[in-house]
Amino acid sequence: MAREGKSVEDWRRRRTSRVEGRARARAAWPIRVRCAVIAVVILAGAGCNQPKAETGAAAECVSPADVADYVHTVIESDRTTYAEKVVHRLQNVEKVMKASESFEEDKALPLPSQMMRMGATAAASKNQGKLRYALISEWAINKANLPKTEFEKQGLKALGQKPDVPHRGYQDVGDQRYFMALYADKAVSDACVNCHNDHPESPRNDFKLGEVMGGVVVSMRMN
């Protein structure tokens, strides 16, 4: 009986240990996710070409192209959600609030492009310009958003022919090297189309839903 009681007690101890182990693993999951995100940025920025002697094993890399794709996915998702679920709904469907270039003076919503530029400015200020993104177009209403570099000009031409293929490359500025990626910016809602087509200073007024209106350029400093 004593031996049987000891076996039951051992079984209970092992079971408790397993349950506690699973609980610790679940609690550690958010930390592992955050570490994975941090590792992606660090490895991409450093090139992640560490010798085996330093790491004890071959380092796993995430390419700059993949990191730029991740960044663009977040930018595009946020902008599309704001354009459709906020601007289009409140301005065009429920008709309770308008979007305006002079949104502060008019007590209105910022345009989707303005919201994106404000986010880009905030992001660049937080990382000392290591990561930048911008909205450009050859039909930009704001002339500051016209393509400036050869990469941007050639990239917009390439996207006009193959909008689903990002235009990528490297650019050297002084002693700094940047990885550049340009993605097609499509008209995702009626709010985008109507804003450009109805604007008195727009160089073009025949945009259609789903059409390429410009590009989103993502720039990452590599050294």
Q: Global pTM?
A: 0.72
CATH number of residue 78's parent domain:
3.30.450
Predicted local distance difference test score (pLDDT) of residue 128: 85
Q: Are 62 and 43 in contact (CB under 8 A)?
A: yes
pLDDT for the residue numbered 94: 96
Own/partner long-range contacts of 128-134 (Cβ < 8 Å, ≥24 apart) = 129/221, 130/45, 130/220, 130/221, 131/71, 131/218, 131/219, 131/220, 131/221, 132/218, 132/219, 133/71, 133/72, 133/75, 133/216, 133/217, 133/218, 133/219, 134/216, 134/217
Is residue 155 domain-resident?
yes
- Say if residue 125 is in the same domain as residue 177: yes
Q: Looking at the domain assignment, is residue 199 inside a domain?
A: yes
Across 95-109, average pLDDT: 94
Residue 173 has pLDDT above 90, yes or no: no
- pLDDT tens-place string over residues 180-209: 999 999 988 787 888 889 999 999 999 998
Q: Which run of H or E residues covers position 133?
A: strand 131-136
- Whether pLDDT at 90 is above 60: yes
Kindly state whether residue 99 falls inside one of the protein's structural domains: no
The C-alpha angle with vertex 184 and arms to 211 and 199, in degrees rounded to 5, equals: 50
Which helix (H) or strand (E) segment holds residue 178: the answer is: strand 176-186
The reply to whether 14 and 81 lie within a common domain is no
Say how many domains are in the chain.
2
Mean local confidence (pLDDT), 85-109: 94
Domain boundary residue among 55, 77, 98?
55
The pLDDT value recorded for residue 106 is: 95
Q: How confident is the model at residue 108 (pLDDT cuts 50, 70, 90)?
A: very high
pLDDT > 70: percent of the chain = 73
Q: For 119-153, what is each residue's pLDDT tens digit?
A: 999 999 998 889 999 999 999 988 889 999 999 99
Q: Compute the C-alpha angle 129/130/136, nearest 5°.
A: 65
pLDDT interval class at 48 (50, 70, 90): low
Return the pLDDT at 194.
Answer: 85
Average pLDDT taken over every residue of the chain: 81
> Residues 188, 213: contact at Cβ < 8 Å?
no
pLDDT at 5: 53
> Of 53 and 167, which is predicted with more confidence?
167
Residue 85 tokens read as 């679920």
Are residues 19 and 70 located together in one domain of the fold? no
For residue 161, the enclosing domain spans 64-85+111-221
Q: Which residues of 162-189 are buried (b: 16+ CB within 10 A; e: fewer)?
A: ebeebbbeeeeeeeeebbbbbbbbbbbb
pLDDT of residue 162: 95
Q: Give yes or no: residues 48 and 141 share one domain.
A: no
